Amino acid sequence: MIRFGIIGAGRVVSPRYVDVFTQELKDTSVVAVCDLVREKAVDVSARLGAEVAVDKEALLKRSDIDAVIIASESGKHFEHAKQALLAGKHVVVEKPPCMLPAQLDELVALARTQQRMFAPIFQNRYNPAMRAVKQAAQAGRFGKIVLATFRLRWCRYQDYYEDGWHGTWAMDGGVINQQAIHHVDALQWVCGPVSEVTAFKANALNKLEAEDTMIASLRFANGALGSMEATTAARPKDFEASLSIVGEKGLVVIGGIALNKIETWDFIERLPEDDTISLTHSQEVPTGYGLSHGPLLQDIVSRLNDGSLEPPITPESCRPTIELVHAVYRSIEDRMPVQLKDSPLSVRLGRG
């Protein structure tokens, strides 16, 4: 039985983690929840049958907690994950695992020293549709990849940015680091690494320090070209989160609102399962969070119960995602293309 504590009871934890812990996970429980807004912690803890911790320090001191889920503001993930590791807890951290690549390196080293698991959450890697396209890419079914793109067309109204941290440079960033980071991760996971970025941004409808709309042109190390298009200025709801890959031997489009549906799956060299793959690997999902937190968290729990400290999604595999976000922002800041080999860092993201 892996016993969890949760730091942060906001937008992600309330609807998604409550369902996962009460309906899906085995061999686990939530012991305590804390949040700066006590009412949120009270609400979530009641639904989970957990206690309310006075603060994160009190939660981390508890000997009946084995692992901690970090679901606080993005800009606090590094600090909170570090404190949890130093307290001897395994750490599960929501996206982004931290704001700067160097912070990720520090947490990886600390987890190794503390002999604890450090597990980032990029749940879309567990979507059946995404797993299918990853396997196809690994099997070489695309041949030479020609073009790889994603589009995110989601809706966030101004009140979303009025909580003091969403959309700020120090604590969050804009659409590319908050909402679209899942899709940045999916793109680089399947087709990366990226070698060059040219990006542009706008504040189309929402007022925030960072951007609500951005586009970027990419050159991949394998020679493919690509693009990223993301906005929270779609109205009146979330419409699309899609990934498309064009290769010399086939084309795939993963769509839906959470990379959850196989919309096109067409290869020159067909396999028997291709005829039914859109049915067997597509999901209906209620929100952009999708349905893969449960399988990913269950994998984490199973590994911990087996005595393994190797997370299902390694922090090292997430580093290119953080680097690509920084390259996008640095291109916007310098108004010019940037090379990933130069390790470009934003002068604002994670700094203010």
pLDDT in tens, 16-47: 899 999 999 999 999 999 999 999 999 999 99
Neighbouring C-beta atoms of residue 285, cutoff 10 Å: 17
pLDDT in tens, 175-185: 999 999 999 99
Q: What is the mean pLDDT of residues 86-109?
A: 98
CA distance 282 to 249: 22
DSSP per-residue codes, 85-100: HHTT-EEEEPSSS-SS
pLDDT in tens, 51-67: 999 999 999 999 999 99
**What pLDDT sits at residue 113?**
98
Taking the whole predicted model, whether its pTM rises above 0.75 is answered as yes
Tell me the H-state helices in the chain. Answer: 18-19, 38-48, 56-61, 77-86, 101-114, 128-138, 181-191, 277-280, 293-305, 315-334
Please say if the pLDDT value at position 114 is more than 90: yes
Please say if the pLDDT value at position 296 is more than 90: yes
**What pLDDT sits at residue 91?**
98
When the pLDDT of each residue in the chain is averaged and rounded to a whole number, the result is: 97
Please say if the pLDDT value at position 11 is more than 90: no
Q: Which domains are assigned to the chain? A: 2-120 (3.40.50.720), 124-291+320-342 (3.30.360.10)
**What pLDDT sits at residue 352?**
72
Please say if the pLDDT value at position 14 is more than 90: no
**CA dihedral sign, ordered 47, 51, 54, 57:** negative
Q: What is the mean pLDDT of residues 147-174?
A: 97
pLDDT in tens, 130-145: 999 999 999 999 999 9
**What pLDDT sits at residue 148?**
98
| Residue of 333, 337, 335 whose CA lies nearest to 347 | 333
Matching residue, tokens 């039985």: 1
Q: What is the mean pLDDT of residues 253-260?
A: 96
**What pLDDT sits at residue 12?**
66
**What pLDDT sits at residue 13?**
67
